[in-house]
Amino acid sequence: MSNRLNIPNDLRAFWMPFTANRQFKQEPRFFVAAKDMHYTTHDGRQVLDATAGLWCVNAGHCRPKITEAIQQQAGELDYAPAFQLGHPKAFELANRLVDIAPKGLDHVLYTNSGSESVDTALKVALAYQRVKGQGSRTRLIGRERGYHGVNFGGISVGGIVSNRKMFGTLLTGVDHMPHTHLPAVNAFTRGEPEHGGDLATELERIVTLHDASTIAAVIVEPVSGSTGVLIPPKGYLQKLRDICTKHGILLIFDEVITGFGRLGTPFAADYFGVTPDIMVTAKGLTNGVIPMGAVFVSAEIHDAFMTGPEHMIEFMHGYTYSGNPIASAAALATLDTYKEEGLLTRAAELASYWEDGLHSLKDCPHVIDIRNIGLIGAIELEPIAGEPTKRAFAAFLKAYETGLLIRTTGDIIALSPPLIIEKHQIDEIVSRLREILTHNI
């Protein structure tokens, strides 16, 4: 067994999320501290974070402003009831968020995670259609290989089989567009792929099948992260937007990963020049430090609910911790940090260096595709025959042992470093990966 310094004696009680529990508990991997681009392991090693935690620590770790804001808020106002009462920071934060959001997304609902943000967005969409007198619009359209968190709404519109198959019938009335991953024609594309934009017309086919009058909303990740970094083909998102507009269907962008600077613009909607009706965020909103999500909606949607007697609740939805004071303080300090350091656009400056670095690994053994956009990257490996996921997981373990944190999904290595990364650290990621891919898997 590895060095177990700093590891609790009994690991049985905690049933870990999305983890091979039995294997982990035999050979545990613990982080005990973090600063900027690095984690410290339980056995005292430094690990370069090439994944921003789980795609969330966009400003790097233990940033002083954020830490101090949380400490200060915890001593001043710890909790305020979220329903029928408020506290100033939740309102200040909403205004700050609307200021950096794509034009037209003027209102914010708070949640505590991406999964809750997704379910909130789907509920807003269904309720909006109903308050507009279009109650027959109840269908939700997702996409194959989509990831929208783990709650029932999110797995219903999501398209990852293993996350769905154990959980019964899910939401009814959901349909899925095909995914856009076309390695046969697009492998090793830098940035947006040439081929596949026409797959958006599959939405027209679905609309024809069900009739637009039954469809409330379409939800997609502008760039799919969890499923292995699938970048939208050129023109695809604009076509989805046009089809939705034409048929009165709401377009929801799930920007849980792409939000807050990951592509070199504040949101992917800015990067692609396509504005959704609803935008789902979480993760980078608080730099991953305190759980919080935000759902942005257009004035048109918000205003549709603001009818009826003024003493009545307009939308029957919310969480105990919606707009929690400490989370709000963390988010405000995160936005300050992003602003002071130009982090919402920094990825644009580094994107071509990042792209060149990643694509230099093309000649490594087992590499069948490399994809990149902004400060996201993926290296797809040829699976070991009959043992899918094993090759990439071996790379993950070797990377961890040798001081690099990567993320794997299937046989794909996904990379999304903190946006404070320096060029020499990009070089380090690339050279460590070359070593691992060449000698260790």
The contact set with ligand PXG (CB under 6 A) reads 54-55, 113-115, 118, 147-149, 221, 225-226, 254, 256-257, 282, 407, 409
Reading the block at residue 155, the tokens are 């797995």
Q: In whole angstroms, give the CA distance from residue 81 to residue 365.
A: 56
**Nearest distance in Å: CB 175, ligand PXG:** 19
**Nearest distance in Å: CB 168, ligand PXG:** 20
Is 400 one of the binding residues for ligand PLP (CB under 6 A)? no
226 binds, among ligand PLP, ligand PXG, none (CB under 5 to 8 A by kind): ligand PXG
Contact residues for 432 (Cβ-Cβ < 8 A; gap 6+): 48, 399, 402, 403, 404
**Nearest distance in Å: CB 195, ligand PXG:** 23
Q: Beta-carbon neighbour count of residue 319 at 10 Å? A: 17
**Nearest distance in Å: CB 254, ligand PXG:** 4
Mark residues 84-123: x for contact with ligand PLP by CB under 6 A, - for none: ----------------------------------------
Q: Beta-carbon neighbour count of residue 68 at 10 Å? A: 12
**Nearest distance in Å: CB 14, ligand PLP:** 20
3-state class of 316 per DSSP? coil
**Nearest distance in Å: CB 292, ligand PLP:** 13
The residue (of 87 and 398) whose beta carbon lies closer to ligand PXG is 398
The residue (of 207 and 294) whose beta carbon lies closer to ligand PXG is 294
319 binds, among ligand PLP, ligand PXG, none (CB under 5 to 8 A by kind): ligand PLP
The residue (of 262 and 391) whose beta carbon lies closer to ligand PXG is 262
304 binds, among ligand PXG, ligand PLP, none (CB under 5 to 8 A by kind): none
113 binds, among ligand PLP, ligand PXG, none (CB under 5 to 8 A by kind): ligand PXG
Phi, psi of 174 (to 5 degrees): -105, 140
The residue (of 153 and 207) whose beta carbon lies closer to ligand PXG is 153
Helix (H) or strand (E) holding 231, with range, is none
Reading the block at residue 69, the tokens are 């804001």
Is 79 one of the binding residues for ligand PLP (CB under 6 A)? no
Kindly indicate which of the ranges 44-52, 59-67, 316-324, 424-432 contains the residues binding ligand PLP, using the contact rule CB under 6 A. Answer: 316-324
Is 320 one of the binding residues for ligand PLP (CB under 6 A)? yes
Q: Beta-carbon neighbour count of residue 41 at 10 Å? A: 21
Q: In whole angstroms, give the CA distance from residue 251 to residue 268.
A: 14
Kindly indicate which of the ranges 54-62, 221-229, 244-252, 313-321 contains the residues binding ligand PLP, using the contact rule CB under 6 A. Answer: 313-321
Phi, psi of 224 (to 5 degrees): -75, 130
For 14-95, where are the E strands, in sequence order? 31-35, 38-41, 46-49
The residue (of 207 and 293) whose beta carbon lies closer to ligand PXG is 293
**Nearest distance in Å: CB 318, ligand PLP:** 7
DSSP H helix total and E strand total for the chain = 16, 15
Q: In whole angstroms, give the CA distance from residue 403 to residue 400.
A: 5
299 vs 11, 75, 241, 302, 306, CA distance in Å?
Answer: 49, 35, 18, 5, 11
Q: Beta-carbon neighbour count of residue 263 at 10 Å? A: 27
How, if at all, do strands 250-254 and 215-220 pair?
parallel
Rg (CA), the chain: 22
Q: Count residues binding ligand PLP (CB under 6 A).
A: 3
Identity of the amino acid at 379: I
**Nearest distance in Å: CB 360, ligand PXG:** 24
**Nearest distance in Å: CB 1, ligand PXG:** 27
Q: In whole angstroms, give the CA distance from residue 230 to residue 264.
A: 17
The residue (of 113 and 425) whose beta carbon lies closer to ligand PLP is 113
CA 345 to chain centre: 17
**Nearest distance in Å: CB 417, ligand PXG:** 13
391 binds, among ligand PLP, ligand PXG, none (CB under 5 to 8 A by kind): none
Residue nearest to ligand PXG (CB): 114
Kindly indicate which of the ranges 219-227, 317-325, 386-394, 412-420 contains the residues binding ligand PLP, using the contact rule CB under 6 A. Answer: 317-325
Helix (H) or strand (E) holding 105, with range, is strand 105-111
| 330 HSE (CA, 13 A, CB side) | 27
The residue (of 321 and 354) whose beta carbon lies closer to ligand PLP is 321
Burial class (CB in 10 A: 0-12, 13-18, 19+), 280: buried
Task: Indicate which single residue of 31, 305, 315, 319 sits in contact with ligand PLP (rule: CB under 6 A).
Answer: 319
Binding-site ranges for ligand PLP (CB under 6 A): 319-321
